[in-house]
């Protein structure tokens, strides 16, 4: 199956953005980023016509691309009237969320533990030529100490707890958003660093792939 034509893809993105509005996304900068990035270029060709549906899609290696609402919701929660600044993404996957982040953050560092998936992300991202986005293969639970501290950290995989390294790499006033829980009960946890105090607020129920250690 051929990918959608540019005009069809643009209309599909516009419909996706209107759906996001109806679902409660209000941040215009986030909506503009979602309207700009061609999600169909980040999924397998056979799934391209489903790229703008509000559903997660498989991207291989037992990984998924998050549904558009979850991507928009997580970034909106992290912005909340502030600039994202230097941002670390854990779980780059196919590169889609990193691309969206690059439109709303000054710098984006995206870490992926699966080298084959990171290679695909690089291929997906190359046509967009995003100068403020850097990719690295690494263990996301360790963060990216050589580029820390970060104003924003967003985690696209769920764990039973928050990796200490991620909290340590938050800049003062920085925010971290991570899915925390188990296979049946997982919620978004927003953490804000206030000096050496970490304020926690729980948000939406979600379902993400597991946050694993090591690289492959």
Q: Please identify every residue annotated as catalytic.
A: 66
Torsion angles phi and psi, residue 136, rounded to 5: -150, 140
Q: CA–CA separation, 125 vs 118, rounded Å? A: 10
Residues for the chain: how many in total?
Answer: 216
Strand ranges, E, within the chain? 57-60, 63-65, 86-90, 107-112, 133-137, 150-155, 170-181, 186-194, 197-205
Cα separation, 83 vs 146, in Å, equals: 22
What interhelical angle do 28-36 and 68-79 show, nearest 10? 140
**Residue among 73, 61, 139 nearest 100 (CA):** 73
Question: How far apart are the C-alpha atoms of 48 and 17, rounded to whole Å?
Answer: 17
């Amino acid at each position: 199956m051929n990918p959608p034509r540019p005009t069809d893809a643009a209309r599909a993105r516009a419909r996706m953005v209107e759906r996001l509005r109806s679902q409660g996304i209000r941040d215009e900068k986030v909506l503009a980023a979602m309207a700009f990035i061609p999600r169909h270029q980040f999924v397998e060709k056979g799934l391209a016509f489903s790229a703008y549906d509000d559903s997660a899609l498989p991207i291989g290696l037992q990984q998924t691309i998050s549904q558009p609402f979850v991507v928009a919701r997580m970034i909106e929660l992290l912005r909340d009237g502030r600039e994202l600044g230097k941002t670390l993404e854990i779980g780059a996957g196919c590169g889609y969320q990193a691309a969206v982040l690059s439109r709303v953050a000054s710098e984006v560092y995206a870490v992926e533990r699966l080298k084959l998936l990171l290679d695909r992300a690089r291929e997906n991202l190359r046509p967009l030529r995003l100068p403020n986005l850097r990719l690295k293969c690494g263990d996301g639970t360790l963060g990216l100490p050589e580029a820390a501290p970060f104003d924003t950290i967003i985690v696209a995989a769920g764990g039973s707890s928050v990796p200490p390294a991620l909290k340590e790499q938050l800049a003062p006033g920085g925010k971290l958003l991570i899915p925390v829980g188990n296979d049946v009960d997982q919620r978004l946890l927003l953490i804000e660093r206030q000096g050496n105090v970490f304020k926690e607020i729980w948000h939406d129920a979600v379902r993400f792939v597991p946050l694993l250690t090591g690289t492959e």
